[in-house]
């Protein structure tokens, strides 16, 4: 296939892992980058082999050589710049969460449909063999009747000045981490009768960051009767990205769902015996970029399209409402 030509919005730290390394491994062209600080963009381009720097986000989305935009900006800027890229006729690989809230997510989805461009939410873990194998195990019968799904996403607290603690920029543990916990439950729900229903949610604000959740726990129930837990915290003692599937005959655990290069193990325990499967340390971001490129070049479908993103935001909003922490506002809207 002809290499995809991508423009990078901003010089976020995640870009090195999420687009720079995958682009080098797949032959994707990083045509241009723009950042609020031009010097930072110049440094990013030199360090990561981006072909050129443009002087604004708007110039990037309007650049005729750019086919697709990678948007890793702060959460509150995902929706607005997804919309600007779509209006310019570009495909979009949008970091999660897709938007600040359900209303904004629907507007992005509808704009993409009207413009005939493709928008993918960057739930990279969904494309790695670790998650694909967890799906096989869940649906294959080895564990018996599935009775519970548990997803826990935890990191130590970022500095208070980090945008993830900004209510204006749609920060919070649920937006940064819990969206993965909910999405993993939704994905496995495909084998349990469909998306789960939210039963209860609770959380706490982070000290010094009013309105921003430090942690959230969500209790779920699937149409099959199985229960689910979607938990997250940005105040943990260590990093933990785990997914556990419990059945009547055994259980399976992915030890690091979001970063298989650090730990690609799945442990399966059935009938008193335990086995460990290793699924490979190739990055999930590389699988994701390959899927995005193939979707654009060959058509078909992918599991993390704009319709899926809307359903994820629907559940995120429901968790915020039930926990009492309140919806994330669209960027620039009044308090």
**Domains, the chain, with CATH or none:** 5-123+287-305 (3.40.50.720), 129-281 (3.30.360.10)
Q: Tell me the C-alpha distance between 179 and 210, whole Å.
A: 20
Helices (H), ranges, 172-217 = 173, 179-189
Q: Is the pTM of this model over 0.95?
A: yes
Phi then psi dihedrals of residue 333, to 5 deg: -80, 155
What is the pLDDT, as a whole number, of residue 12?
84
As a whole number of angstroms, the distance between CA 247 and CA 276 comes to: 17
Cα separation, 200 vs 79, whole angstroms: 27
Provide the CA 102 distance to its chain's centre, in angstroms: 15
b/e sequence 118-127, b meaning 16+ C-beta within 10 Å = bbbbbbbbbb
Confidence (pLDDT) at 77: 97
Per-residue pLDDT, 335: 52
- Ranges of the chain with pLDDT below 70: 333-335
Backbone φ/ψ region at 10: left (φ over 0), alpha (ψ -120 to 50), beta: left
Residues in the chain: 335
Which alpha helices (H) appear in the chain, and where do they start and end? 14-15, 21-26, 38-48, 57-62, 75-87, 102-115, 129-140, 173, 179-189, 284-298, 306-323
Q: What pLDDT is attached to residue 141?
A: 97
What values do phi and psi take at 332, rounded to 5? Answer: 90, -10
Structure confidence at residue 66 (pLDDT): 98
pLDDT of 268? 98
pLDDT of residue 334: 58
**pLDDT at position 233, please?**
98
Alpha-carbon span 85 to 306, nearest angstrom: 14
């Amino acid at each position: 296939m002809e290499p995809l030509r991508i423009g990078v919005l901003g010089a976020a730290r995640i870009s090195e892992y999420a687009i720079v390394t995958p682009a080098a491994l797949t032959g994707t062209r990083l045509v241009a980058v723009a950042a609020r600080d031009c010097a930072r963009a110049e440094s990013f381009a030199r360090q990561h082999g981006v072909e050129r720097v443009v002087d604004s986000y708007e110039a990037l989305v309007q650049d005729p050589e750019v086919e697709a935009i990678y948007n890793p900006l702060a959460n509150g800027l995902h929706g607005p710049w997804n919309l600007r890229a779509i209006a310019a006729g570009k495909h979009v690989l949008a970091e999660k969460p897709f938007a600040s809230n359900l209303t904004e997510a629907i507007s992005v989805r509808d704009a993409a449909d009207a413009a005939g461009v493709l928008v993918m939410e960057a739930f990279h873990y969904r494309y790695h063999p670790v998650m694909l194998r967890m799906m096989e195990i869940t649906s294959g019968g080895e564990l018996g009747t599935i009775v519970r799904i548990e997803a826990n996403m935890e990191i130590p607290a970022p500095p208070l000045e980090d945008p993830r603690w900004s209510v204006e920029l749609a920060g919070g543990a649920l937006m940064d981490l819990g969206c993965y916990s909910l999405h993993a439950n939704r994905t496995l729900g495909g084998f349990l009768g469909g998306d789960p229903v939210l039963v209860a949610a609770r959380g706490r604000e982070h000290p010094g960051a009013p309105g921003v959740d430090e942690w959230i726990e969500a209790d779920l129930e699937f149409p099959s009767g199985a229960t689910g837990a979607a938990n997250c915290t940005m105040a943990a003692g260590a990093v933990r990205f785990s997914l556990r599937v419990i059945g009547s005959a055994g259980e399976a655990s992915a030890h690091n769902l979001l970063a298989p290069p650090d730990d690609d193990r799945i442990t399966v325990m059935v009938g008193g015996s335990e086995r460990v499967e290793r699924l490979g340390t190739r990055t999930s971001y590389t699988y994701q970029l390959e899927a995005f490129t193939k979707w654009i070049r060959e058509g078909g479908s992918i599991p993390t399209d704009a319709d899926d993103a809307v359903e994820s935001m629907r559940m995120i909003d429901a968790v915020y409402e039930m926990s009492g922490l309140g919806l994330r506002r669209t960027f620039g809207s009044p308090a």
